[in-house]
């Protein structure tokens, strides 16, 4: 690091014009650098079919691993007392946030092991924080001198290692999160002081890094975040996205979110996130994603988390079925430790989700929304459908003690409607209700005979 501790701004090594001179796709639709044009791009079909992904928040903030991944901001900018006290009680006077860099060792990081865990989770894509608001890049960025994982801390290209492992050992698609702004970068602060009339930071830092990331690692999800209060024009988001959709090496398969500048969230971009932990509980007209955390209070790993701070597998399954029933994808976050391990509680939740999806994945993957998202008579029943198979799935989170599940929404027909419990071979008996709906006789099973735990799914064929 340079004197003063904060990594200084790097000068662009290539003019941006050189980064833009790639041959366009032949015969493909062209997108103009306007939201009207970019928003009309069809979302690649794989994303809606995937339904479930894993988010990974990992960086220098994983070293203090206290309170939140926003540790630096809370300690130095807002000076929240518990963060100030934590530093006073645990680190010597004069210790700077940059001094955490060498302690971010990742010495136990095993990309193959991570890929195997993610594969076991049943997820179909993974998104890694290539750079959070602290500015530390998990690859050897040419534009982040000595504040990157190749020059500092791990001394290795974390992004490359995970990308290779994911692509060679799993069926997941590889994605990257990238924070547009950095809390304390001097060029961003200078631009901010000019009410973003100056554009030093995006020209010399953000845009070169985005092009570098895409060209080098070819992410199929580009998860933008952190506009710093600056509009999309400051970031030249529409110009970059036009290149991404027209000329980039991932132009045909890449998906993007909606965080490309102040005012763009839930309005512009590929799919909508709208807010962190967004779960509206009703159908939306636009594809959306519920990015949420297993740790209720932090995206990064916290040493001070208690067992009750983690969502249970029952709560996570409920998040998944609610989200998918309403047309969304679930992006479930874990925070690895500073030495590169996935803590047992995160690994357990991931493997539990995979166990549940092995039985019930038919009701999740490649499904469509149905005319009703949840049942009107029985709570905690959520619906998905597969139109081609003429099948509706009713996912229920509580096994009725009576052994009879009442569904108020399906309209069934004697002689043609069939009801099955996923993971159980025999068809189930059902009877119509007086008006709409059916009553399903669930099989009498012991706990060990259950096809799964934490929630079940019925496949209803030929219902309307």
Distance CA 73, CA 228 (A): 13
Answer whether residue 9 shows pLDDT above 90: no
Distance CA 354, CA 172 (A): 13
pLDDT band at residue 344 under the 50/70/90 scheme: very high
pLDDT band at residue 455 under the 50/70/90 scheme: very high
Answer whether residue 399 shows pLDDT above 90: yes
pLDDT at residue 103, as a whole number: 98
Average pLDDT score over residue span 26-36: 85
Answer whether residue 168 shows pLDDT above 60: yes
Residue pair 364/52 in contact by the 8 Å Cβ criterion: yes
pLDDT band at residue 29 under the 50/70/90 scheme: confident
pLDDT at residue 312, as a whole number: 98
pLDDT at residue 27, as a whole number: 52
Residue pair 446/424 in contact by the 8 Å Cβ criterion: no
Helix (H) or strand (E) holding 404: strand 404-407
Answer whether residue 214 shows pLDDT above 60: yes
Task: State the pairing for strand pair 427-428/418-421.
Answer: antiparallel
Answer whether residue 248 shows pLDDT above 50: yes
pLDDT at residue 24, as a whole number: 44
Distance CA 422, CA 443 (A): 12
Q: Where are the beta strands (DSSP E) in 119-267?
A: 125-131, 173-179, 221-225, 255-256
pLDDT at residue 435, as a whole number: 83
96 is written with which tokens?
């700077």
Average pLDDT score over residue span 41-55: 98
Residue pair 398/380 in contact by the 8 Å Cβ criterion: yes
Q: Helix (H, G, I), strand (E, B), or coil: what is residue 52? A: strand
Distance CA 318, CA 310 (A): 14
Q: Helix (H, G, I), strand (E, B), or coil: what is residue 7? A: coil
Task: State the pairing for strand pair 221-225/255-256.
Answer: parallel
Helix (H) or strand (E) holding 394: strand 391-396
């Amino acid at each position: 690091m340079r004197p003063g501790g904060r990594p200084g701004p790097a000068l662009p090594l290539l003019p941006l014009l050189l980064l833009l001179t790639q041959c366009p796709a032949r015969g493909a639709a062209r997108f103009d650098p306007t939201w009207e044009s970019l928003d009309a791009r069809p979302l690649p079909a794989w994303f809606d079919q995937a339904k479930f992904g894993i988010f990974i928040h990992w960086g220098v903030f994983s070293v203090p691993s206290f309170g939140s991944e926003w540790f630096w901001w809370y300690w130095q900018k807002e000076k929240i007392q518990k963060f100030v006290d934590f530093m006073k009680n645990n680190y010597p006077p004069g210790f700077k946030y940059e001094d955490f860099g060498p302690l971010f060792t990742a010495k136990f990081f095993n990309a193959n092991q991570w890929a195997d865990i993610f594969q076991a989770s049943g997820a179909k894509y993974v998104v890694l924080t290539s750079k959070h608001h602290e500015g530390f890049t998990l690859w050897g960025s040419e534009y982040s001198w000595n504040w990157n994982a190749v020059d500092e801390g791990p001394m290795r290209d974390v992004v490359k290692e995970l990308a290779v492992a994911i692509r060679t050992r799993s069926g997941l698609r590889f994605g990257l999160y990238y924070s547009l702004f950095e809390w304390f970068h001097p060029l961003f602060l200078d631009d901010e002081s000019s009410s973003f009339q100056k554009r030093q930071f995006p020209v010399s830092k953000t845009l070169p890094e985005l092009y570098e990331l895409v060209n080098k690692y070819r992410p199929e999800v580009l998860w933008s975040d952190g506009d710093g209060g600056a509009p999309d024009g400051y970031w030249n988001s529409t110009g970059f996205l036009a290149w991404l959709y027209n000329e980039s090496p991932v132009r045909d398969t890449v998906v993007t979110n909606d965080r490309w500048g102040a005012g763009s969230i839930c309005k512009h971009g590929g799919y909508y996130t709208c807010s962190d932990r967004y779960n509206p509980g009703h159908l939306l007209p636009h594809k959306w994603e519920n990015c949420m955390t297993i740790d209720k209070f932090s995206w990064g790993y916290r040493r001070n988390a208690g067992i009750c701070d983690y969502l249970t597998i029952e709560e996570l399954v409920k998040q998944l079925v609610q989200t998918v029933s309403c047309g969304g994808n679930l992006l479930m976050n874990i925070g690895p430790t500073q030495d590169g391990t996935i803590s047992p509680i995160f690994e357990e939740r991931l493997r539990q989700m995979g166990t549940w999806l092995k039985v019930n994945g038919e009701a999740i993957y490649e499904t469509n929304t149905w005319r009703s998202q949840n049942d009107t008579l029985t709570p905690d029943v959520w619906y998905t459908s597969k139109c081609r198979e003429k099948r509706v799935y009713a996912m229920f989170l509580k096994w009725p003690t009576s052994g009879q599940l009442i569904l108020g929404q399906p309209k069934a027909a004697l002689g043609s409607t069939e009801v099955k419990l996923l993971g159980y071979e025999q068809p189930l008996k059902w009877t119509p209700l007086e008006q709409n709906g059916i009553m399903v006789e669930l099989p009498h099973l012991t706990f060990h005979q259950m096809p799964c735990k934490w929630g079940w799914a019925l496949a209803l064929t030929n219902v309307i």
